[in-house]
Chain A
Amino acid sequence: MFSYIVRKMLYAVPVIWGVVTIVFILMTIVPGDPARLMMGQRGDPETLARIRADLGLDLPIHKQYTRFLKDLVKGDLGVSYRNNEKVVDALMTRFGATLKLAFWAMVLAALLGILAGVVSAVKQYSIFDYSAMFIAISGISAPVFWVGLLLLLIFAYTLHLVPGVGYVPGDWRYFILPVITLGVRPAALIARLTRSCMLEVLTQDYIRTARSKGLRERIVIMRHALKNALIPVVTIIGTQVAELLSGAVLTETIFAWPGVGRLAVEALIARDFPMIRGTVIFMAVIFLVANLIVDISYGFIDPRIRYD
């Protein structure tokens, strides 16, 4: 297992290098000069040249690239062009908010999704099944910004059941709507996937065997069917977690949530190259780690899977 993890992590190095190189090249191709944007709408060429030199943008591209790689190896992602904030610090302060949001959204999504999927499969073609799947399809189809706005308009601004927007650590009331908004889509995906996997598993011979042994239906469903149906569900949960952790831009924007997604978008608008590179590397690492955890979790769900 340990060697498997080490091997996976070593594989990640060229992936991250590839990602940062592509981002670096894209940033040099895209028109729009970060130094120019710092100057506002007008600026004299002499000051512009001094700012470019200060940022290292006057160096040839290959020198900028090697300098960037050297710093990266040292763990230094640079300093934001936009506000001089250290990229690592910016990511760390925003990641806390994103992590909390993503974690609770995934807990909600996993609980609701798996529960709805299992019940729908067990009670196939029942009212519950139809209703759950209708809600699931709506959840997948509904745009996040629409769901967020709707929830806010109803529960915050009409019924006044929760406060408005903002991020107040420790005050759970501010978490309710963003967590639901962000959790709706993964919950719907998980529900549909769980249902189809469960339906497939429930027709297997070993389920019939379990039932014929006289096991209680709850045991058959939870221990025999669900566990085997979970592998694709866990994969989906893993990728969804990675997606949410790398920044739920729309939810963060609507709920004024200070997360990684908003940081990335603002960096893009300002051509803040170090911050863009930092957020991309961060997202790549998140995806790699999430995938690694998913891979490892397979072994716990299905003991037949080995890590040789």
Chain B
Amino acid sequence: MKRRLVWFVMVVILLSLVFVGQNAAVAQEPKYGGVLRWRAVNDPPKLDPAMATDTSSSRNVYLMFDMLVDNDPDGKSIVPRLAESWEASPDGKTWTFHLRKGVKFHKESLGKPTENGGREVTAHDWKYSFERLVKVNSPRAYFIDMVKGYQDFVDGKADEWVGIKVVDDYTLQFELDYPFSPFLSVLAYNSFVVVPKEDAEKWGKEFNFHPVGTGAFILERWDHDQRLVYRKNPDYWKKDEAGRQLPYLDGIEIVIIPDNTIAYEEFKKGNIDVLPAPPDEYYEEIKAQYSHLLQERPELGTYYYGFNNSKPPFKDNLKLRQAFNYAVDREAINELVIHGRYYPAKGILPPGIPGYNPNLRGYEYNPEKAKQLLAEAGFPDGITVDLNVNNDPRHTLISEAIQAQLKNLGININIKVLDWGVHLDLCERGETQMFRMGWVADYADPDNFLYVLLHSENHGSKGNYSFYSNPKVDEMLAAARVETDWDKRMKLYQEAEQMIVDDAPWLFLFHYTTSLLAQDWLKNMHLPAFGDYTTPLEVVWIEK
């Protein structure tokens, strides 16, 4: 009897396991159909990838276009997209890409047949697309100005960009003037996509309103300031691991809702499926009630206050700059002002980016030391400094908190809240004493932070708004750009970062996070480190 009971229990357990397993399998089985509604704050200014520089445009570009390569979701490596494989020459100056076969351009756009007729993409299309960037004055073409012949092509001295070669229909080659190690990462930027010549030439500047790519979704309708409607591309090249055709969704709607309160209410009502960057004012409520729908992770970005290192009082006054760094309690501001949505920063590189150094020697909160350094810097009775901040509630709140903390040490901060255009203008011209700025990676490489923001070649509009200059750092950053040995490169960056942090050209503050609220019926939705706007939607399905 006992034996029979044991058998019975075992059979029950086995059956239960099979049943549960089947259920799990069913739960994992993707479902086709449905339309995902994604909230946007405003109408995207640019759907032409050559001209897209803002996140709202990029959200749309990622739906319709494909780059040669892509970032993995963690931003730690480069993965294939329309290039199946690639290799670099030993000197790092020649990059050869082997293209995926059978990739087709959109057959339709905005409900009408496209000029290309849905033909296959070849290396000639890639060459055309890169050359087009220069022809249409893309603000991002200069990202690859190291490709041989760039300047001649820009200046009209050459008919073609000689450094980009079509080896055969499925092989594309780039020849560089000098080895540029982040080259692969740069190619993952969303301007470096393939477009069909027939459609791009037909529409010219109007291509912005008639975008045609190879991506998972095709633009069906654009009601300005209301919504962008996409439907699935039935000829999309990508399949899931089981060989099923992607995308699963029938379509995407980018719904434009400018007001945060309303967008949040619309999400709660189920009228929208995804609310990227949930508003601060509802963050506590979201954490309490909707934490199961909240996705949040560190973003490849940094938030800082730059000192103007080319003008008094910060010029040639290391102790003053260090005093500011010791005087701010980043943890407290993060917790009390922005609900812990950032990470206190010790330096420049954000967690998650290659070369990030968790052991970086930064500045802890130490008001006594700050006071001492302030006196040694020549300001024993305190100092008054103007701080320029661009107009945003979060920036204003943080600046007020820092103002209050610094006041305890006799540092008076005059906060000037400015419109973004004015703010940027003043920063670039060096007409500030101290300014708020942030930086989110264009490409996942330390070069994009350290070289762009702190090399003396980039003073002003090219990114170094603090006008910081250290010849030794310049030398190391330049060397790292051409170093082909990965470990040596990372070492150079880490050493350079430590030198910069010791020089304190900024008040190092925070690293960003990225977040979104996604309804629980959305499956397989994963927030990447590059930000909510890069979330791949071709692999998402709706389970209702």
Contacts and interface: CB of A to CB of B under 8 A. Distances in A.
Interface of A: 30-34, 36-48, 50-51, 54, 79, 82-85, 90, 93-94, 149, 152-153, 156-157, 160, 163-167, 253-256, 258-259, 262-263, 266, 269-271
6 contacts: A31-B425, A40-B53, A40-B54, A43-B461, A164-B269, A253-B258
Contacts of B223: 167, 258
Interface string B53-97: 110000000000000000000000000000000000000000000
Given A166-B255, A256-B259, A36 B425 contact: yes
A265 to B, nearest CB: 9
A39 B54 CA distance: 9
Contacts of A165: 257, 259, 262, 266
Interface of B: 42-46, 51, 53-54, 137-139, 141-142, 145, 154, 205-206, 208-209, 223-226, 255-259, 261-262, 265-266, 268-269, 271, 419-422, 424-426, 428, 439, 452, 458, 460-463
Given A31-B426, A254-B259, A157 B225 contact: no
B79 to A, nearest CB: 25
B225 A36 contact: no
A57 B45 CA distance: 20
A167 B426 CA distance: 39
B257 A50 contact: no
Identify the interface centre among B51, B421, B462, B463: most chain A CB within 10 Å of its CB.
B421
Contacts of A36: 421, 424-425, 428, 461
A156 B43 CA distance: 24
Contacts of A40: 53-54, 139
Nearest to B439: A41
A44 B137 contact: no
Contact of B256 (A47, A256, A269): A256
Contacts of A270: 45, 421
A254 B261 CA distance: 9
A37 B423 CA distance: 11
B462 A271 contact: no
B374 to A, nearest CB: 31
Given A83-B45, A83-B46, A258-B224, 8 more contacts: A42-B458, A51-B137, A157-B269, A164-B262, A164-B271, A167-B226, A253-B259, A266-B42
Nearest to A33: B425
Contacts of B46: 83
B341 to A, nearest CB: 21
Nearest to B207: A84
Nearest to A38: B139
A233 B142 CA distance: 60
Contact of B224 (A51, A54, A94, A166): A94
A47 B45 contact: no
A84 to B, nearest CB: 5
B141 A47 contact: yes
A27 to B, nearest CB: 12
Contacts of B224: 85, 90, 93-94, 258
Contact of B461 (A44, A156, A271): A44
Given A41-B424, A157-B269, A54 B226 contact: no
Identify the interface centre among A45, A47, A54: most chain B CB within 10 Å of its CB.
A47
Contacts of B261: 149
A204 to B, nearest CB: 48
Given A41-B439, A90-B224, A164-B265, A32 B421 contact: yes
Contacts of A153: 265
Contacts of B266: 164-165
Contacts of B452: 42
A165 B271 CA distance: 9
A229 B336 CA distance: 58
Contacts of A164: 262, 265-266, 269, 271
A164 B271 CA distance: 8
A46 B421 contact: no
A214 to B, nearest CB: 57
Contacts of B424: 32, 36-37, 41
A44 B142 contact: yes
Contacts of A44: 142, 145, 461-462
A219 to B, nearest CB: 48
B97 to A, nearest CB: 25
Contacts of A42: 452, 458, 461-463
Contacts of A37: 420-421, 424
B262 A256 contact: yes
B139 A84 contact: no
B139 A39 contact: yes
Contacts of B463: 41-42
A34 B420 CA distance: 11
B477 to A, nearest CB: 16
A32 B425 contact: yes
Sorted nearest first, the 5 A-B pairs with minimum C-beta distance are A32-B421, A258-B225, A40-B53, A39-B139, A42-B463
A33 B154 CA distance: 23
Nearest to B226: A258
Contacts of A254: 259, 262
A94 B225 contact: yes
B226 A43 contact: no
Contacts of B269: 156-157, 160, 164
B265 A157 contact: yes
Contacts of B209: 84-85
A31 B421 contact: yes
A46 B154 contact: yes
A269 B154 CA distance: 30
Contacts of B426: 31
Contacts of A90: 224
A50 B256 contact: no
A12 to B, nearest CB: 29
B142 A46 contact: yes
Nearest to B139: A39
A210 B452 CA distance: 84
Identify the interface centre among B255, B420, B424: most chain A CB within 10 Å of its CB.
B424
B276 to A, nearest CB: 16
A79 to B, nearest CB: 8
Nearest to A80: B45
A99 B271 CA distance: 26
A226 to B, nearest CB: 40
A38 B53 contact: yes
Contact of B226 (A46, A160, A256, A269): A256
